[in-house]
Structure formats: structure tokens, C-alpha cells
Structure 1
Amino acid sequence: MKIKLVKRANPQKKTEKKFYANAVNAGRKTLRDISRDIAGRSSLTRGDIDNVLLNFVECLPGYLRDGFSIQLGEFCTLRASLSSKGAATEKEFKTESIKPRIVFTPGVELKRALSETTYETAKGEMEIKGG
């Protein structure tokens, strides 16, 4: 994984600055890209895989709205969470203030796979943030 070093101020000691690792974004993978990659590793066609992935993505919001958490094997668990503005009384509460969030909890296998990542500093990639 390519990283860039970012110099940031310490939140506790504003005058102290240290370098921290940030992942370099290599771009984006679309469902079509993923379908093509999976098709190259299986006996299914890209169209078959496209169909499965698109149907999967279309089903997720309904499951989350219905209150289910979604366990994707050892990969992860997804669940809905809400944030809202507080109200002094139940009667004063406005549902318009509710903002849905998705909580992604990586599974043991994903954590293990990522813990084995090696890192390289991208050439010329250094930013200074926070002063």
C-alpha cells in the first residue's frame, strides 16, 4: 500500500508537530470492475456476476431499513445507526433531524489480511496540515 506522510499538530500540544501515515488513494473500483475481476477467477461470466452484485446492492438498503444487521461472512458486518438533534420532549422531536449512518465492522479475516499489508512511501507525497 502506498502512503504519504502528513505533518500534523498534536491536539494536546498545538506547537508540537509529528508525521503520520495517510493512505494514497489509487482510484476507484466500480461494480463493473469488480465483476470483471471476479469473472477472471471463476467459471461465471461477468454478466452473471454483475447481476448478483447489482441485486445484492439493491437489497441492502431494505435490510438495513428493516433493522437487520448484515453479516457478510468473515468479511464484515454492516448495520444502520442514526444520529439526530435532541429535543426537550418527545412531542418536540422532529424526525426530519434524523440522519442515517452505516456502521461497517470489519471481520476477523479482513483485519488479519490488512495486518499483513506492506507499506511504501509514495515519492514526493508529503502534506502539511494543521499549520
Structure 2
Amino acid sequence: MIKYSLMERVNPIDLAAPKKFFPVKQAQEELTLRDFAKRISRESTVSTMDAMAVLEGLLQIIPDEIANGKIIKLGDFGTFRSTLSAEGADTAPEFTVSKIKSLNVRFRPAREFRNLLANVKYEQVS
């Protein structure tokens, strides 16, 4: 369940427009890698230490492969891919690698994940 409160905000594009109320997601507990490993251990035959080892390996491999331009598909979870942020050039010959500002990582949830997100419940808190 996602908990939220309401906050009145001004329209940054039209400062004269009337303020409107928008939901603000409330911070909830954080889950650590160890928390995931413990849960995997409880729900499978894998030990917490083995789950930690696999998760740590995944966390090392994904950034390496993203940096190599690969698309990472993680089954029913989703896909990680990279995109470029760059300054444009008027012509192709004028473009140089120095115009590339950053490599960004995008995540796209898989269909099953999106379906789960579509059924999330919300609760307003004060």
C-alpha cells in the first residue's frame, strides 16, 4: 500500500494560476540487500549467504554490461537499457564525442510487473 499526504502547490509555468493539491508519497521503510537475501532464503531452499552472493554478483554485472551498451532483460521483472544525453550539432561532421553529456539508465517494468503496479492500493495520511 502506498501512503500519501496532500500538498498545495503552485503551477511553476503559471505562477498566477490558483494553487492545486497534489499527492506526495510518504517515505516508508527501506529494504536492504540483506533484507532481500533473507526473504529469498525464507521463500526458497537457498541460504541467506548464497542469496547475498548472487545478488552481489548481479549488482556488479549489471553496471558493467550497461556500460558496454548491453540491454539487460530480467525476465518478468523488467529491462534496463542505457540512453545518451547530449548537446546537438547542426551537422553530422560538427558532432564530437565531447557533446555527449551523460549515459543514463532507464528501467522498463515487464508486463507482469506493470500489472502488479496497476493494482496498488493508496491510503491518504495526515
| TM bracket (short chain) | 0.7 to 0.9
Alignment match, 2:76:
74
Structure 2: where are the runs of 5+ without partners? none
Q: Would you say the 8 A contact 2:84–2:100 is kept in 1?
A: no
TM-score computed with the length of structure 1 as normaliser: 0.80
Equivalent pairs, count: 123
Q: Which moved more, 1:108-117 or 1:83-92?
A: 83-92
CA offsets 1:43-87 (integer angstroms, 9 cap, x no match)? 111100000000011001121122211111121111011112335
Higher RCO by CA contacts (8 Å cutoff, separation 6 or greater):
1
Residue of 52, 58, 68 corresponding to 1:50: 52
C-alpha distance in 2, partners of 1:91/1:10? 39
Q: Please identify, of 109-118 and 4-13, the stretch whose mean Cα deviation from structure 2 is larger.
A: 4-13
Instruction: For 2:28 and 2:97, locate their aligned partners in 1 and report how far apart those are by CA, in whole Å.
Output: 41
The answer as to whether partners of 1:69 and 1:79 remain within 8 angstroms in 2 is: yes
Note the alpha carbon deviations across 1:2-48, whole angstroms, 9 max, x for none: 11212222356432221112221213222111111211111111100
> Which structure 1 segments of 5+ residues have no match?
124-131
Question: C-alpha displacement at 1:93, in angstroms?
Answer: 2.9
1:108-127 equivalent positions in 2, closer than 5 A: 108-123=111-126
